[in-house]
Amino acid sequence: MIESSHDTLRDFIALKCHDIFGVSCIALKEVPAIVSGELRRADLVVVSRMGRYPYVRVIEVKTKFENFWDAINQLLWFKENGLANYYFIALPENIAKLLSYDQRVELLNKNIGLITIRVKGGVKGLEWEVIKEISPKSEVRKRDWDLLYRELEKLGEHSLVERLRETVEKHS
């Protein structure tokens, strides 16, 4: 396995995001997320437009096994603040192989996807392959809920908005 830097892996995923996700995407690198005065940076934010709403994917790229739980904690912070529809950790193949069965189950339980990047030397230079090993389920972004609430309020559906807010808060 050829060692690759964090930035190289991030750039490669940004370049191949159509192949990974199957839709046309815009990839934004090192995007700051500001919530309640707290600033965090996402390694990669991929946005695709399907229908009326954009779908947002946050990807944390790690090149060392020791940073696996840091990535989980970072993604959980983004999830708690409802910043994306999908959350992924991207790891080089040699690091992803170190994940135990329990750690993979933990990703599934936390609804976090896993992207593995295989880099190998070939006759034509470096060859790259991306494998989406774990696909998370879609989540509704907080901003999408707020937009829905505003649209319903405009239509005079105040009681429906109140019931929706209560339901969403119970299940969050």
For residues 7 and 15, give the distance between their C-alpha atoms in angstroms, rounded to a whole number: 12
Q: Model pTM? A: 0.79
Q: What is the pLDDT of residue 162?
A: 84
Q: What is the pLDDT of residue 123?
A: 62
pLDDT category of residue 1 using cuts at 50, 70 and 90: very low
Phi, psi angle pair for 127, to nearest 5°? -115, 135
- Take residue 126 and report the two structure tokens written for it: 């470096």
* Model confidence pLDDT, tens digit, residues 19-72: 888 888 888 888 888 777 788 888 999 888 766 667 889 999 999 999 999 999
Considering the domain delimited by 6-139, tell me its CATH architecture.
3-Layer(aba) Sandwich (3.40)
Q: What is the pLDDT of residue 122?
A: 63
Helices and strands of the chain, counted as H and E runs: 7, 6
Break the chain into its structural domains and give their ranges.
6-139, 140-172
* Model confidence pLDDT, tens digit, residues 88-141: 999 999 999 999 999 999 999 999 999 999 877 666 666 778 889 999 998 878
Q: What is the pLDDT of residue 3?
A: 58
| Of 62 and 160, more confident | 62
| Of 37 and 75, more confident | 75
